[in-house]
Amino acid sequence: MNNTNEIENPLDLSFLKKMSGNSPKFILTMIDLFISQTPVLLLAVEDAISHQNWDRIASTVHKMKTSFSYLGRADITENLKNIEQQAIEHMDMKTLSMCFEEAKLPIAILTAQLLEYKSKFQ
């Protein structure tokens, strides 16, 4: 279970800054991609959970993991790895669903942090 400190990690864009040579244009493009793709992927996971589609859960969560690594959120990446593994092993759907619901709060907080960061450039 996440504690408050993990959920509310400060925004860490150091990896993106290093990868881009500290290019604001590149960083903002990556933020835009994250903001546009993440809600779609979250809905896809929710739909897969509701249909108990283990393979779709695993593949969709797998797609999500890299974005969180780029954004300095190893805690979310680890949660998603756990969910992916549960789906691969066809573990208890109720437990998997609870883990996914728990992962959504830090994702929402990160999204808000990214929107705030982006607003400084507009």
Per residue in 58-115, pLDDT tens? Answer: 999 999 998 998 998 999 999 999 999 999 999 999 999 999 999 999 999 999 999 9
Q: Which domain holds residue 95?
A: 12-117
Backbone angles phi, psi at 53, to 5 degrees: -95, 90
CA atoms within 13 A on the CB side of 13: 20
pLDDT at residue 10, rounded to an integer: 82
| Residue 1 domain-assigned (yes or no) | no
Residues 6 or more apart in contact with residue 118 via CB below 8 angstroms: 28, 31, 32, 35
| Residue 4 domain-assigned (yes or no) | no
Q: Rounded distance, CA 10 to CA 17, Å?
A: 15
Q: Is the pLDDT of residue 2 over 90?
A: no
> Which one, of 92, 38, 32, lies nearest residue 82 by Cα?
92
**What domain count does the chain have?**
1
Residue 109, domain CATH = 1.20.120
pLDDT at residue 62, rounded to an integer: 96
pLDDT at residue 5, rounded to an integer: 47
pLDDT at residue 80, rounded to an integer: 96
pLDDT at residue 3, rounded to an integer: 44
Q: Is the pLDDT of residue 117 over 80?
A: yes
Q: CA dihedral defined by 109, 113, 115, 121, rounded to 10 degrees?
A: 180
pLDDT tens-place string over residues 28-69:
999 999 999 999 999 999 999 999 999 999 999 999 998 998
| Residue 84 domain-assigned (yes or no) | yes
This prediction has a pTM of 0.87
